[in-house]
Structure 1
Amino acid sequence: MDDRTYWDERYRDATFRLPEEPSRPLREFADALPEGRAFDVATGTGRNALFLAAAGYEVDAVDVSGVGLDEARERAAERDLDGHVDWIQADLDTYCVPESAYDVVSVSFYRALELLPDLKEALAPGGVLCYEHHLRSPEADRGPSDDRHRFRSNDLLRAVLDLTVLHYEETTRVEDGRTSAVATIVARNTGGGSQTYPRRPAE
């Protein structure tokens, strides 16, 4: 089964629901993000894309699943945001990401280490990458069942050390009685020894 068919079937399953609130790095570091254009990778049903559109961004949102994108379009129409999001059905393995085009790139729970060179090049000067994904951990009972689809410790950090790391953590979360191990990074397309940094959000 190819990825498109797999995800179309998942979204048609009434018992499968993605979170509706945006990712933690987007919520917690919203004030540190530059204005402009945003790119939401593997948007699913659009939770991050809609958050960014509501915050004033013009958003390109890509996903392989037409079923997921149909739900995202419905949500956008309900919130009068559809004119601010370009919903793009494409396989990210072959999609050509424009260079230096985006002020924010968002990736949530999609293993894309091999795509990171292209995603980093997609950042405009001063643009910010917000990325979170599952880690390999014996404590985790939420997320991919196969460790191939999880990061090892520091995989994500090492992959973006050519950017300015504003925030990085590897942590365990317990929600609804289930445990996730998650790596989160917020990194800016800048260089040099003296820079500005956002304050750590209050817990």
Structure 2
Amino acid sequence: MADSNGSTDWDERFASGSYPRDPEPSSVLRAYEPSIPNGRALDLATGTGRNAVFLAEAGYDVDALDASREGLRITRERAAERGVADRIETVHADATEYAFPTERYALVTVSFYHTVDRFSDLAAALVDGGYLFVEGHLRSSRSTPSGPSDDRYRFAANELLRAGLGLSVRYYDETTQERPDDRRRATARLLACRAHGPRQSYPEGPTEGDRG
């Protein structure tokens, strides 16, 4: 969630409670997770552990990476509260510069952190058959107060899809979501697999009710 230049700002946001302490993982990630191979997972820019704690509860061993020490502290605290502290290893690092290991992860997740320039590194970090899940804010012609004010940190139409085409795309959408706080959010979501060949296996997809 934070990079090195903004880590102090994010430390303050996490400490003050202005960012949710216990954010929900994406409904798409929740729906597809049972079909994704077990193993080690990386939650890049974990924030307060949006994906990391969920994946640890699902049985993954998780590397939770962020530049914010406060976010990582909260992630560890939440993991302890859920009884999965032994499944999460926090990594204090700048996601823009971090040297990802190759062929290590069954699953890499990135939520609301703009990192298209690291896609090739994230793909190389997957084992064969491993999955990449990315969700992020979209540029929209409608007002979308939720998310960054600068379009540099939002995906253009189909930008996330094009970035994922080096993998085998399993799911993609671009949607607008109305939120209870009236902060409308435009979001792109991608699930892709490091797989090759004309015949592949496919995970069981979410039902229509799970896609929101």
TM-score normalised by structure 1 residue count: 0.95
Mapped to 2, the partners of 1:97 and 1:21 lie a distance apart of 25
Mapped to 1, the partners of 2:79 and 2:163 lie a distance apart of 33
Written as runs of structure 1 = structure 2, the 5 A alignment for 1:77-88 is 77-88=80-91
Please report the RMSD computed on the Cα atoms of aligned residues, expressed in angstroms: 1.4
Q: Which residue number corresponds to residue 168 of structure 1?
A: 172
Q: Which residue number corresponds to residue 140 of structure 2?
A: 137
Residues 61 and 85 of structure 1 are in contact (CA less than 8 Å); yes or no, is this contact kept in structure 2?
Answer: yes
Q: Report the secondary structure of 1:73's partner residue.
A: helix
Higher mean C-alpha displacement, 138-147 vs 13-22: 13-22
Q: Which residue number corresponds to residue 78 of structure 2?
A: 75
Provide structure 1 residue ranges, at least 5 long, that are not aligned to the other structure: none
Q: Structure 2: which amino acid aligns with 1:118?
A: D
Q: Which residue number corresponds to residue 156 of structure 1?
A: 160
Q: Deviations over 1:21-77 (max 9, x none)?
A: 212332121122111110000001112111111111111110000011111111111
CA drift at 1:121: 0.4
Q: Which residue number corresponds to residue 119 of structure 1?
A: 122
Mapped to 2, the partners of 1:133 and 1:19 lie a distance apart of 18
CA drift at 1:96: 1.0
Q: Report the secondary structure of 1:40's partner residue.
A: strand
Written as runs of structure 1 = structure 2, the 5 A alignment for 1:31-46 is 31-46=34-49
Q: Report the secondary structure of 2:184's partner residue.
A: strand
CA drift at 1:178: 2.5
Residues 170 and 183 of structure 1 are in contact (CA less than 8 Å); yes or no, is this contact kept in structure 2?
Answer: yes
Aligned counterpart for 1:30 among listed residues 22, 29, 33 = 33
Mapped to 1, the partners of 2:184 and 2:163 lie a distance apart of 25
Q: Structure 1: which amino acid aligns with 2:172?
A: Y
Provide structure 2 residue ranges, at least 5 long, that are not aligned to the other structure: none
Q: Against the structure 1 CA distance between its residues 164 and 31, is the aligned structure 2 distance closer, same or farther, given a 3 Å change threshold? A: same
Corresponding position: 1:146 with 2:150: yes
Mapped to 2, the partners of 1:199 and 1:111 lie a distance apart of 28
Q: Which residue number corresponds to residue 106 of structure 2?
A: 103
Q: Structure 2: which amino acid aligns with 1:58?
A: D
Q: Report the secondary structure of 1:129's partner residue.
A: strand
Q: Which residue number corresponds to residue 62 of structure 2?
A: 59
Mapped to 1, the partners of 2:152 and 2:100 lie a distance apart of 24
Higher mean C-alpha displacement, 174-183 vs 103-112: 174-183
Residues 169 and 191 of structure 2 are in contact (CA less than 8 Å); yes or no, is this contact kept in structure 1?
Answer: yes
Q: Report the secondary structure of 2:197's partner residue.
A: coil
Higher mean C-alpha displacement, 18-27 vs 185-194: 18-27
Mapped to 2, the partners of 1:59 and 1:69 lie a distance apart of 13
Mapped to 2, the partners of 1:46 and 1:17 lie a distance apart of 10
Residues 105 and 123 of structure 1 are in contact (CA less than 8 Å); yes or no, is this contact kept in structure 2?
Answer: yes
Residues 11 and 68 of structure 1 are in contact (CA less than 8 Å); yes or no, is this contact kept in structure 2?
Answer: yes
Residues 25 and 132 of structure 1 are in contact (CA less than 8 Å); yes or no, is this contact kept in structure 2?
Answer: no
Q: Which residue number corresponds to residue 94 of structure 1?
A: 97
Mapped to 2, the partners of 1:112 and 1:18 lie a distance apart of 23
Residues 36 and 203 of structure 2 are in contact (CA less than 8 Å); yes or no, is this contact kept in structure 1?
Answer: no
Mapped to 2, the partners of 1:107 and 1:145 lie a distance apart of 20
Written as runs of structure 1 = structure 2, the 5 A alignment for 1:9-20 is 9-17=12-20, 20=23
